Amino acid sequence: GSFRYIWPDTGRKQKITVPNTHPECYRPRESLTTIIVLGYGKLMGEPATRVLLIPKTGRRHQLRVHCAVGLGHPIAGDITYVRRPFDHPNITYIHDIYAMHDVNLDYKLKHMMLHAYSMKIKLQIKNNKADNMISHQLPKMKEYQFHTDDNPFFDVNDAYLWEKDEESKGIVMATIMDTLEGCI
Protein backbone atom coordinates (compact mmCIF):
# COMPACT_ATOMS: atom_id res chain seq x y z
CA GLY A 1 0.00 0.00 0.00
CA SER A 2 1.06 3.56 0.32
CA PHE A 3 0.99 6.29 2.90
CA ARG A 4 1.93 9.94 3.15
CA TYR A 5 5.31 10.46 4.76
CA ILE A 6 6.77 13.76 5.98
CA TRP A 7 10.57 13.81 5.90
CA PRO A 8 11.75 15.11 9.30
CA ASP A 9 14.84 16.92 7.99
CA THR A 10 13.09 18.89 5.21
CA GLY A 11 9.38 18.70 5.98
CA ARG A 12 8.81 17.50 2.41
CA LYS A 13 5.60 15.47 2.00
CA GLN A 14 5.71 12.37 -0.15
CA LYS A 15 3.34 9.51 -0.89
CA ILE A 16 5.48 6.37 -0.81
CA THR A 17 4.97 2.66 -1.25
CA VAL A 18 4.99 0.67 1.96
CA PRO A 19 4.49 -2.96 2.97
CA ASN A 20 0.97 -4.00 3.87
CA THR A 21 2.06 -4.40 7.50
CA HIS A 22 2.38 -0.63 7.88
CA PRO A 23 -0.47 0.69 10.07
CA GLU A 24 -1.27 3.54 7.64
CA CYS A 25 -1.16 1.36 4.51
CA TYR A 26 -4.12 1.66 2.16
CA ARG A 27 -5.07 -0.02 -1.15
CA PRO A 28 -2.66 -2.97 -0.86
CA ARG A 29 -2.06 -5.05 -4.00
CA GLU A 30 0.03 -8.18 -4.46
CA SER A 31 3.50 -7.96 -6.02
CA LEU A 32 6.16 -10.54 -6.84
CA THR A 33 9.89 -10.24 -7.63
CA THR A 34 12.45 -12.97 -8.33
CA ILE A 35 15.95 -12.10 -7.15
CA ILE A 36 19.13 -13.87 -8.30
CA VAL A 37 22.47 -13.11 -6.64
CA LEU A 38 25.13 -12.54 -9.31
CA GLY A 39 28.08 -11.69 -7.11
CA TYR A 40 29.42 -10.34 -3.87
CA GLY A 41 31.91 -7.54 -3.51
CA LYS A 42 32.38 -3.99 -2.36
CA LEU A 43 30.87 -0.76 -3.62
CA MET A 44 33.05 2.23 -2.75
CA GLY A 45 34.64 0.08 -0.04
CA GLU A 46 31.32 -1.04 1.50
CA PRO A 47 30.07 -4.66 1.31
CA ALA A 48 27.59 -5.05 -1.56
CA THR A 49 25.78 -7.74 -3.52
CA ARG A 50 25.06 -7.55 -7.24
CA VAL A 51 21.63 -8.98 -8.01
CA LEU A 52 19.38 -9.59 -10.98
CA LEU A 53 15.84 -8.44 -10.17
CA ILE A 54 13.03 -9.93 -12.24
CA PRO A 55 9.67 -8.29 -11.51
CA LYS A 56 6.74 -10.64 -12.07
CA THR A 57 4.22 -7.86 -11.43
CA GLY A 58 4.47 -4.18 -12.24
CA ARG A 59 3.90 -2.10 -9.14
CA ARG A 60 5.48 1.33 -8.87
CA HIS A 61 8.81 1.16 -7.03
CA GLN A 62 8.31 -2.59 -6.55
CA LEU A 63 12.02 -3.45 -6.93
CA ARG A 64 13.08 -0.67 -4.59
CA VAL A 65 10.60 -1.66 -1.87
CA HIS A 66 11.33 -5.39 -2.16
CA CYS A 67 15.06 -4.73 -1.74
CA ALA A 68 14.59 -2.25 1.12
CA VAL A 69 11.87 -4.03 3.08
CA GLY A 70 11.81 -7.61 1.79
CA LEU A 71 15.57 -8.18 1.75
CA GLY A 72 16.52 -5.60 4.33
CA HIS A 73 18.97 -3.86 1.98
CA PRO A 74 17.89 -0.84 -0.08
CA ILE A 75 19.36 -0.44 -3.56
CA ALA A 76 22.62 1.48 -3.28
CA GLY A 77 22.01 5.15 -4.00
CA ASP A 78 18.28 5.01 -3.25
CA ILE A 79 17.67 7.93 -0.91
CA THR A 80 13.89 7.50 -0.79
CA TYR A 81 13.59 3.89 0.34
CA VAL A 82 16.26 3.93 3.00
CA ARG A 83 15.47 3.07 6.57
CA ARG A 84 13.70 6.22 7.79
CA PRO A 85 10.25 5.94 6.14
CA PHE A 86 9.87 2.33 7.27
CA ASP A 87 10.88 2.81 10.91
CA HIS A 88 7.75 1.86 12.73
CA PRO A 89 7.22 -0.59 15.61
CA ASN A 90 4.40 -2.41 13.79
CA ILE A 91 6.54 -3.25 10.74
CA THR A 92 8.29 -6.60 10.75
CA TYR A 93 11.15 -7.25 8.35
CA ILE A 94 12.15 -10.57 6.86
CA HIS A 95 15.75 -9.93 7.92
CA ASP A 96 16.92 -8.11 11.01
CA ILE A 97 19.99 -6.76 9.20
CA TYR A 98 18.15 -3.74 7.82
CA ALA A 99 19.67 -1.45 10.44
CA MET A 100 23.17 -2.36 9.20
CA HIS A 101 22.68 -0.46 5.92
CA ASP A 102 25.04 2.51 5.62
CA VAL A 103 22.75 5.35 4.54
CA ASN A 104 25.73 7.69 4.04
CA LEU A 105 26.90 5.61 1.05
CA ASP A 106 23.64 6.40 -0.75
CA TYR A 107 24.42 10.12 -0.72
CA LYS A 108 27.95 9.56 -2.11
CA LEU A 109 26.69 7.92 -5.30
CA LYS A 110 25.69 10.02 -8.32
CA HIS A 111 22.57 7.92 -8.94
CA MET A 112 20.78 4.81 -7.80
CA MET A 113 22.51 1.54 -8.74
CA LEU A 114 19.44 0.20 -10.56
CA HIS A 115 20.05 -0.46 -14.25
CA ALA A 116 17.71 -2.00 -16.85
CA TYR A 117 19.13 -4.63 -19.20
CA SER A 118 15.89 -5.44 -20.96
CA MET A 119 12.45 -3.91 -20.76
CA LYS A 120 9.14 -4.98 -22.29
CA ILE A 121 6.26 -2.54 -22.12
CA LYS A 122 2.68 -3.10 -23.23
CA LEU A 123 0.81 0.09 -23.99
CA GLN A 124 -2.89 0.29 -24.61
CA ILE A 125 -3.67 2.54 -27.53
CA LYS A 126 -6.88 4.55 -27.37
CA ASN A 127 -8.76 5.41 -30.54
CA ASN A 128 -9.98 9.01 -30.28
CA LYS A 129 -12.45 10.31 -32.85
CA ALA A 130 -12.14 13.96 -33.79
CA ASP A 131 -14.93 15.99 -35.41
CA ASN A 132 -15.08 15.66 -39.23
CA MET A 133 -12.04 13.36 -39.30
CA ILE A 134 -11.75 9.78 -40.45
CA SER A 135 -10.82 7.48 -37.61
CA HIS A 136 -8.51 4.53 -38.21
CA GLN A 137 -8.89 1.44 -36.09
CA LEU A 138 -5.68 0.92 -34.16
CA PRO A 139 -4.71 -2.31 -32.42
CA LYS A 140 -5.92 -2.48 -28.84
CA MET A 141 -2.49 -3.25 -27.43
CA LYS A 142 0.98 -2.37 -28.70
CA GLU A 143 4.07 -4.06 -27.29
CA TYR A 144 7.49 -2.45 -27.23
CA GLN A 145 10.68 -4.25 -26.32
CA PHE A 146 13.86 -2.42 -25.37
CA HIS A 147 17.23 -4.13 -25.14
CA THR A 148 20.81 -3.00 -24.68
CA ASP A 149 23.96 -4.57 -26.12
CA ASP A 150 25.98 -3.25 -23.21
CA ASN A 151 27.06 -5.44 -20.32
CA PRO A 152 23.71 -6.73 -19.05
CA PHE A 153 24.62 -6.87 -15.39
CA PHE A 154 26.69 -3.78 -14.76
CA ASP A 155 26.77 -0.25 -16.07
CA VAL A 156 30.26 0.30 -17.50
CA ASN A 157 30.25 3.86 -16.12
CA ASP A 158 29.94 2.45 -12.59
CA ALA A 159 32.50 -0.36 -12.97
CA TYR A 160 35.21 1.59 -11.16
CA LEU A 161 33.08 1.55 -7.99
CA TRP A 162 32.83 -2.26 -7.81
CA GLU A 163 35.35 -4.70 -6.31
CA LYS A 164 34.61 -8.42 -6.71
CA ASP A 165 34.65 -10.67 -3.64
CA GLU A 166 36.20 -14.02 -4.64
CA GLU A 167 35.27 -15.74 -1.37
CA SER A 168 31.53 -15.90 -2.11
CA LYS A 169 30.84 -17.71 -5.37
CA GLY A 170 27.39 -19.28 -4.91
CA ILE A 171 24.33 -18.22 -6.84
CA VAL A 172 21.29 -17.67 -4.67
CA MET A 173 17.75 -17.15 -5.87
CA ALA A 174 14.91 -15.82 -3.78
CA THR A 175 11.40 -14.75 -4.54
CA ILE A 176 9.92 -11.84 -2.64
CA MET A 177 6.17 -11.67 -2.52
CA ASP A 178 4.59 -8.75 -0.81
CA THR A 179 1.51 -6.65 -0.97
CA LEU A 180 2.26 -3.19 -2.34
CA GLU A 181 0.43 -0.28 -3.83
CA GLY A 182 2.39 1.51 -6.48
CA CYS A 183 1.76 5.16 -5.73
CA ILE A 184 4.09 8.06 -5.24
Question: Tens digits of per-residue pLDDT, 64-75?
Answer: 888 887 777 888
Q: Is 132 left (phi over 0), alpha (psi -120 to 50) or beta?
A: left
pLDDT of 146 reads: 60
Please, what is the average pLDDT of the chain? Answer: 64
Mean pLDDT of 103-112: 69
DSSP 97: G
- Pick from 50-64, 67-81, 93-107 the range whose average pLDDT is largest: 50-64
Name the CA dihedral angle for 11, 1, 145, 49, rounded to a multiple of 10 degrees: 70
Contact 33, 56 (CB under 8 A): yes
- Strands 13-17 and 29-43, how do they pair? unpaired
Mean pLDDT of 13-35: 68
Domain count, the chain: 1
161 in helix, strand or coil? helix
Sequence-distant (≥ 6) Cβ neighbours of residue 121 within 8 angstroms: 143, 144, 145, 146
Mean pLDDT of 96-101: 43
Identify the residue with better confidence: 3 or 82: 82
pLDDT of 16 reads: 58
CA 66/CA 53 separation, integer angstroms: 10
Question: CA angle 22-27-33, nearest 5°?
Answer: 75
The beta strands (E) that lie in 26-65 are given as 29-43, 46-55
* Owning domain of residue 118: 2-128+136-180
